[in-house]
Structure 1
Amino acid sequence: MDNALLDTLPRALAVGTPLLLACLGAILNERAGVVNLGLEGVMAVGALAAFAVAASAPDANLWLAVGAALLAGAALAGLHALATVTLRANQFVSGLALALIGTGAAGLLGKRFEGLPLFNKVPDWTVGGIALSPFTLAALGLAALLAFWLAATRTGLTLRSVGENPAAADVLGVNVGLVRVLAVLGGGALAGLAGAFLALSYRSSWADNMTAGLGWIAVALVIFVGWRPLRAVAGALFFGLLYALQFRLQGVSAVPSEVWSAMPFVLVLVVLAVAGVRGQAGDAPAALGRPYVRGER
C-alpha cells in the first residue's frame, strides 16, 4: 500500500501542478470580477511558446522559455481584457472564443514542432524523497502568496473590492478598468506558466491537444474551492490523484479504459452540482461576470 501511494503521489502532484497554476490565474481574474473560460486555449499557447524557445537550440535558456510562456499567456488574455473590459463584451462568449482561438492557433502553429526533441528539460528536485518539478514548488508558493496578498494587503483588498462592488471602488478613486485588465493579464500569465510546465517538465515534448481538457477542469475547480487559493491546493491534488488513479486502474480492472478516462470530467459535473446545492456559488464575487459602466446601477 505504501509503495502504491509513493508511486501515485508524484504523478498526482505532477497533474495537479498545471491545474493549480491555471486555477490561481482564474481566481485572480474572478476576484476582480472577470470570468475567463479560455484557460484551455491560454495554456495551449503558453505550452507552444515555451517549447518553441526551448527547442530552438541545444543550449536554449529554459528561463527564456518560461518567460515566453508567461508573455504568450498574458498576450492572449489581453484579447479577452480588450473585449470584456474595454469593449464590455459578454465575458462568457469572449472566453469561449479565446479557448477556440488558443487551441486552434497552437495546434496549427505547433505542427512544425511535432516529433522534435527537447534538448534539455527542467530537472526535478528531490524533496522528502519525492521527485518534484520546480513548477510544482512554485505553484505551491504562489498559492500561499496569492492568499496572503488578497487577504492582508491594500492592493489585494482593492482588487477584491473591484470584484465585489466596482461602483463603490470607483467612488473611492480606484481605476476599475485598469485593475481588471491587470488581473486578466496576470491570470493569463499564470495559465501560460501552466502550459510551460506541460511542455518543459511533464511531457518534455510538443503534441496537439497536450492540455487534454485541464483548462476546463481548472475553470470548474475555481468554483469547487470557493475562490480561495489555499483550498485550490487541495482541490488540484484531489483531481491530480484522480487522474493518476485512472492510469493505475486501467490495467487491473475490467471496466473499459474510456470510463476511467472520463472520470475526471464526470467528477467535475458532480462537484459543481454539489457546490450548487450547498450554496457554494454564494462565495462568488458579487460583480462577477458583469461589465462595469460608470453611472449605471
Structure 2
Amino acid sequence: MVVLRKSSLLASVAMCGALLLASCGDDDNAPTPTPTDSPTPSPTPTETPTPTATDFDFAKDFEASVSNTSYIYAYFTPAGEAEVFNGSSRFTGLGSVNYAASPNTVAYSAPDSTEIRNFAAADLESAAADIRTYRKGAEGLVMELPFEHILRVSYERVDAYVRETVAGDLRSNRVTLFFNSVTTSDAITTNLSYTGSAQVVGGKPGETAPETYSSPTATLTVAASDKKVSGTIQIVTVSGGTTTVVAEIPISATLTDKNVLSGDIKDTARGFTGKYIGSLAGPNREEAFVIFELIHTDGRRLLGSFIAN
C-alpha cells in the first residue's frame, strides 16, 4: 500500500500555481487536494458530442465522456481515531465511463489520471434500476442515475496516508457527472421547472465527521422571457430532530446559448462565498445539474452536485 504524505501534495500545489491540485496531471500518489484559497471557476461543462443521446440503462451497454464536471474529496482516519474531513476541490479535464451489461464490466477514468479503474461482475455489491455499487479490495465505484439523462459516477479508494505527521488511512472520492447535451434548437416558450436534491460533503479539515451535511429537495426555474435561472439550494445539518441551515446557494444566472449557467455564491449572513456552474441536460432540456463549491472564513469547505428533473 502506498503511503502518502502531505508534503508531496503541497509540492504539487507549488508546481501548479493557482490551479486546482487535481488538474495537475496523472499523479496517482496524490488522491486528495490541498484546497486553494478560494473556489476556482472551471471551464464550461462539455459532453463529448455523440450522434444520439446516451441511454444510461444498466441493462444495456453504454459509454460516455465529459469535460469539466468532476470533483474530488477525501476523509482521513487517524490510527485508532474517528474519520474526519480532509479536503475537497473541483477539477477540470476529461472523464470517461464504459459500461457493459453482460458480462458486466465498468471502466472509469477520472480527469486527474490516465489510469483506468476497472470493475467486473464479481465486484458487484448491489444493483437496482437507478444505482449500482461495486467493491474490489480498497476500491469502490458507485453509479447513480436519479432520472434519465445525468449519471453520477463516484470512485473511492483507501490509501495509507500521513497528515501533518499523523499516520492513518485516506478515503478519497473522485466524482464525475456524465450528461446528455441539449440538442433541441426550439426556443423556451414556457417556464421550466426542475426539482431534485444535492449530494454535499465537506466541513473543516481535520475536524468534521462524514455525513455531517445534507441538502433538502430544491427547485430551479427557467423563465421563458429571459432564460434566467433562479432558485435556492440549502445545505443543512440535522441533530436531535432539529434542522439547521448552514449555507444557502442562491442561483441567479442567465442560460448561455449552450444551456450553461454559472455564477458566484455569496451567503453573507452565514459567511460563505463560492462558485457554481451547471447545465441543462437531455435532448429537450428534461433535466438540470449544478456543481457548487463554497468556503468559509473559518476554514470550512462545502462541495457537491445537484441533479434535478
TM-score by length of 1: 0.26
Q: Which has the higher helix share?
A: 1
Q: Which has the higher strand share?
A: 2
